[in-house]
Chain A
């Protein structure tokens, strides 16, 4: 992967993605394969929004690579609270660390950060924008469960604000995948994302009802519909209820359907799905560590060229 930063899934080619997934598979088998070359390296974790999960996953990955992390801590106790710009914050942190993982509530934050620093920036979520490292682990999981060729994927829930959805859809255009987007009318994919998908020649259809396509799907990727997207509680309850699944729903699906979710879930997947063969979301979460190890290994680079990284 010849990139300085990972800002959006759209920058990734099929070759880039496969290189990371292959490397992740190697590292999952043998975490020591990376050797000592990250031993003196520090990764800065800059989370301007609370997200223990993604942060822990990056923290674990960096430590498993033999490096260490420094954590900006919660925004409430940082200079940001005093009105410091993001551009200033990352320029200061650049002096502390060899790479920056950034989660921020504004779209485009990681792109902006990347323009002010020379160390690699990983976008760990920018508002309703992108979350490309999540996409890599999603694809890793899909490849393990269903393969990435001749794939029919349903993506359901909050498609408007769901950054994991935007990144995943964009990355899937590299593969032989048919995409079905299932959401309430008010939470359809944004124009900008649709524009890119059409531009990439994606085969996609939009639906408001899961039953229209459930029986065709190899993978169903479920996301949370958040209460704050709706003006009132009643409307939320009514709409969100139509996009929740349970074991009964899945009786109408193919036996080998894989159900995924970026987690945390609330009630969009009932607990009775967990025990079925469909459920892949916990394995998916676990895959975050080897995939982020592979990603950081690539981005932080170093001796990669002489250390088994040939051909990447």
Chain B
């Protein structure tokens, strides 16, 4: 139906992970969450703001030679709750992972409360409980509802 989608499908990867239906504009944050910045040497294709029936626009990511773990997929759900994750081997989708919200995320986000003890040079990782409509700092109680991608502690 839409040409951009067809083009993206053309560039199939041999082995790796395809993350589709990422909310438009979030692809770079998803890469950051996964700790991928290109320096690893893996091939990464990014399609941003591709027209999508479901989401209006969406982002698509293809990461070669890397299979995401369920933990990584769960974390991804915070930024891209609609995302679908396909593991590809020899050009075939061998596994479709379900994106489920984790109960907590550790070390991944920075608390937006500047006065939180986790922002004071202490030897602890940040820890957030996942609540109905966001995440909540386990140390100071601060709640992050929107733009969770702005609080990534990466990398």
Contact = CB atoms under 8 A, between A and B. Distances in A.
Interface of A: 85-87, 104-109, 111-112, 115, 126-129, 190-193, 195-196
Give the contact-size bracket for chain B: 10 to 19
The 9 closest A-B pairs by CB, nearest first: A108-B139, A107-B140, A192-B141, A108-B117, A106-B117, A108-B140, A109-B117, A112-B117, A85-B122
B138 interface: yes
Contacts of B120: 86, 106
6 contacts: A85-B121, A85-B123, A87-B124, A107-B116, A192-B141, A195-B136
Contacts of A111: 117, 138-139
Contacts of A128: 115
A105 B124 contact: no
Given A192-B141, A192-B143, A195-B131, A107 B113 contact: yes
A88 to B, nearest CB: 8
Nearest to A115: B124
Given A86-B122, A112-B122, A112-B124, A107 B143 contact: no
Interface string B99-135: 0000000000000010111101111100000010000
B139 to A, nearest CB: 3
B138 A106 contact: no
A32 B83 CA distance: 64
Nearest to B124: A112
B27 interface: no
Interface of B: 113, 115-118, 120-124, 131, 136-143
Contacts of A107: 113, 115-117, 139-142
Contacts of B116: 106-108
A129 B140 contact: yes
Contacts of A86: 117, 120, 122
Contacts of A115: 124
A190 B140 CA distance: 11
Contacts of A127: 115, 140
Q: Report whether over half of chain A's contact residues are helix, strand or loop; otherwise say mixed.
A: mixed
Contacts of A104: 117
Nearest to B113: A107
Contacts of A190: 141
A112 B122 CA distance: 9
Nearest to B119: A106
Nearest to B126: A108
A107 B113 CA distance: 9
B139 A192 contact: no
Nearest to A108: B139
A247 to B, nearest CB: 37
A111 B141 CA distance: 11
A195 to B, nearest CB: 6
A129 B124 contact: no
A61 to B, nearest CB: 26
B62 to A, nearest CB: 38
Most buried by A among B113, B116, B120, B141: B141
A264 B136 CA distance: 32
A190 to B, nearest CB: 8
Contacts of A195: 131, 136, 143
A105 B115 contact: yes
B118 A108 contact: yes
Most buried by A among B122, B136, B138: B122
Contacts of B142: 107, 192
B65 to A, nearest CB: 37
A87 B120 CA distance: 11
A190 B136 CA distance: 13
Contacts of B113: 107
Given A107-B116, A196-B141, 20 more contacts: A85-B121, A85-B122, A86-B120, A86-B122, A87-B122, A104-B117, A106-B115, A106-B120, A107-B113, A107-B139, A107-B141, A108-B116, A108-B117, A108-B118, A108-B138, A108-B140, A112-B122, A127-B115, A191-B143, A192-B136
